[in-house]
Amino acid sequence: MAQESLRLVSHPIAAHDGRLPRHYTLEGQGAKKDISPPLEWYGVPDGTRSLALVVQDIDAPDPEGPIGLPEGFSGKESTAGRKFGGIQESVNDWKQPGWRGHIPTSRGHHIQLKLYALDDEVHLGNKARHHRVATFELGLVTKDKLMEAIEGHVLGEAELTAVF
């Protein structure tokens, strides 16, 4: 039997026809704002030892040039990392760990969530914790550094794009 391909799913995004609901952005209201969307993945390849998740606004200008995760997941809470298999977060563009909602300057931006199944753990140095790293809008540890670290270790990848 052939193994299923790695898939990444977010039911709230799918329920909104591929649009990112407001409460996952800085435009949400009260407690329903700036929280990460729930994510599920299926078909993790045999031999996977860790997963890396990169979230980026692919329409944003480049700053140097032109299991699953529940809604509101935060590895900052000491029990959350243990409860979800030791998942830890890197820093974002605000130099803080975890999700920060998007607030692009205009509508129509595409928020890309890309999941990588890896045959090894990722070690990114002191600025990012390792072991099943979930990376959100990489800041101090750049996306380029992550991509370099996982080169040759990717067993599968899945992508989900939401429109803001």
Percent of the chain whose predicted confidence (pLDDT) is above 90: 32
Mean pLDDT value of segment 91-111: 72
Q: Which domains does the chain have, with CATH numbers?
A: 7-67+75-163 (3.90.280.10)
Return the pLDDT at 41: 95
Mean pLDDT value of segment 65-90: 59
Output the average pLDDT for the chain. Answer: 76
For residue 1, pLDDT over 70 is answered with no
**Does 140 or 24 have the greater pLDDT score?**
24
**Does 14 or 27 have the greater pLDDT score?**
14
Mean pLDDT value of segment 67-83: 59
Q: Which of 59-63, 115-119, 120-124 has the highest mean pLDDT?
A: 115-119
User: What DSSP letter does each residue of the chain carry, written as one string?
Assistant: -PPPPPEEE-HHHHHTTTB--GGGBTTSBTTBSS-PPPEEEE-PPTT--EEEEEEEETTSPPTT---EE-TT--TTSHHHHHHTTT-EE-B-TTSSBS---B--SSS--EEEEEEEEESS-----TTS--SSEE-SS-SSS-HHHHHHHHTT-EEEEEEEEEE-
